Amino acid sequence: RLPKKTQEAQKLIDYYESNKTRMNYPLYKTIGAGLIGSGAIESAHRTVVQKRLKQSGQRWSRNGAQNMLYLRVTKKNQQWSKIVELTKREFVKNAA
């Protein structure tokens, strides 16, 4: 005999039912989707976001924090040379 469903159990069942199309992990591995799961995202949050934005004494506007995150993600993705080239181009354009 199965135990009676609680509200929490029904909520979890509903979640799985509504998201089962997103849980085709064998397919994702086959197409080379990379890391699967929230662990990589949670780790990135610590290294990309918190490490830079939560240093002692810092205060950020929403816009300033978003711009800093763009730069951090670009650096972590090893695409910093794009920022350097864009900066050079804008400098030359504005200097003329």
pLDDT (tens digit, 0 to 9) for every residue of the chain, 96 residues total? 666 778 888 888 899 999 888 888 888 888 887 777 777 778 877 877 888 888 888 899 999 999 998 888 888 888 999 889 989 999 888 887
Whether residue 2 lies inside any domain: the answer is no
59-68 burial code (b ≥16 CB/10 A, e <16): eeeeeeeeeb
Whole-number pLDDT of residue 53: 86
In this prediction the pTM is 0.49
Q: What CA–CA distance (Å, rounded) separates 81 from 74?
A: 9
Domain that residue 51 falls in = 7-94
Whole-number pLDDT of residue 1: 63
Whether residue 72 lies inside any domain: the answer is yes
Whether residue 1 lies inside any domain: the answer is no
